């Protein structure tokens, strides 16, 4: 379980295709503090299991399901990625409860500068849009953000300067893909109210 508060930007060091998916190697420092083989790290919001650690680089096997449901298969060596370690039960919950299970890939449809805080417009599939509420939470590439507006298959979020500088959003442009995870609590509420779903 994660909070959507990015701890650092990592850099993709290697990508190797393998049966059923790929092996992704990422350089990072903060997320490796206390990390062990078998531990979890969220990479752009996708929870991955660490299978190898060498100096300041960790490697994780990415399943075909994760490649298909996320934008990790589009990464290239040198790309920056958002990294977060799992939360401890004693931690403050600075963002919201994030499972690290990407629901779908969305697309940035616009970025409008409003002073120091740009407003991003995202297009998302119905399986994500159904859970969005005004001022509710959404995870975008692992970042916990607040929904400002919802219209059709699009929604907007405002990015404060700190979030832009501490995440990959600083490098994003219209047309780029992002990993989306809808609010976990909304999914559970829906399941309780409609068990056949």
In the predicted structure, residue 186 carries a pLDDT above the cut 90: no
The whole-number pLDDT of residue 168 equals 97
Domains of the chain, earliest start first = 8-84 (2.40.30.20), 104-193 (2.40.30.20)
Closest CA to 95 of 184, 9, 173: 184
In the predicted structure, residue 56 carries a pLDDT above the cut 90: yes
The whole-number pLDDT of residue 19 equals 85
Using the Cα atoms of residue 155, residue 140, residue 81 and residue 168 in order, give the sign of their dihedral. Answer: positive
The whole-number pLDDT of residue 190 equals 84
In the predicted structure, residue 193 carries a pLDDT above the cut 80: yes
User: What number is the average pLDDT over the span 170-197?
Assistant: 90
Closest CA to 131 of 194, 196, 66: 194
Residue with tokens 């697309």: 107
In the predicted structure, residue 115 carries a pLDDT above the cut 90: no
Indicate the pLDDT class of residue 134, thresholds 50, 70 and 90: very high
The whole-number pLDDT of residue 58 equals 98
Looking at the chain, the whole-number percentage of residues with pLDDT higher than 90 is 82
Closest CA to 98 of 56, 41, 167: 41
| Mean pLDDT (the chain, rounded) | 94
The whole-number pLDDT of residue 22 equals 97
3-state class (DSSP) for residue 34: coil
In the predicted structure, residue 196 carries a pLDDT above the cut 80: no
Least confident span in 1-10, 57-66, 86-95: 86-95
What's the per-residue H, E or C state across 4-28? CCCCEEEEEEEEEEECCEEEEEEEC
Distance between CA atoms of 2 and 139, rounded to whole angstroms? Answer: 10
- Contacts for 90 with CB less than 8 Å, ≥ 6 apart: none
User: What number is the average pLDDT over the span 112-124?
Assistant: 93
Indicate the pLDDT class of residue 114, thresholds 50, 70 and 90: confident
- Return the higher-pLDDT residue of 113 and 31: 31
In the predicted structure, residue 97 carries a pLDDT above the cut 90: no
Closest CA to 158 of 189, 121, 193: 121
Indicate the pLDDT class of residue 125, thresholds 50, 70 and 90: very high
* Alpha helices per DSSP H over the chain: 64-69, 126-129, 161-166, 184-193
């Amino acid at each position: 379980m994660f909070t959507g508060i990015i701890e650092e930007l990592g850099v993709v060091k290697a990508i190797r295709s393998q049966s059923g998916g790929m092996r992704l190697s990422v350089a990072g420092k903060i997320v490796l503090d206390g990390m062990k083989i078998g531990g979890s790290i969220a990479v752009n919001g996708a929870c991955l299991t660490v299978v190898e650690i060498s100096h300041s680089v960790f490697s994780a096997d990415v399943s075909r399901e994760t490649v298909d449901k996320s934008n990790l298969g589009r990464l290239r060596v040198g790309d920056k990625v958002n990294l977060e370690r799992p939360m401890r039960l004693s931690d403050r919950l600075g963002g919201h409860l994030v499972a690290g299970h990407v629901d779908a890939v969305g697309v940035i449809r616009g970025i409008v500068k409003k002073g120091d805080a740009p407003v991003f417009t995202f297009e998302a599939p119905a399986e994500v849009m159904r859970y969005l509420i005004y001022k509710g939470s959404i995870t975008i590439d692992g970042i916990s953000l607040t929904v400002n507006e919802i219209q059709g298959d699009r929604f907007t979020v405002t990015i404060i300067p700190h979030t832009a500088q501490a995440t990959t959003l600083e490098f994003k442009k219209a047309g780029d893909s992002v990993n989306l995870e809808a609010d976990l609590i909304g999914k559970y509420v829906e399941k309780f109210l409609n068990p056949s779903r």
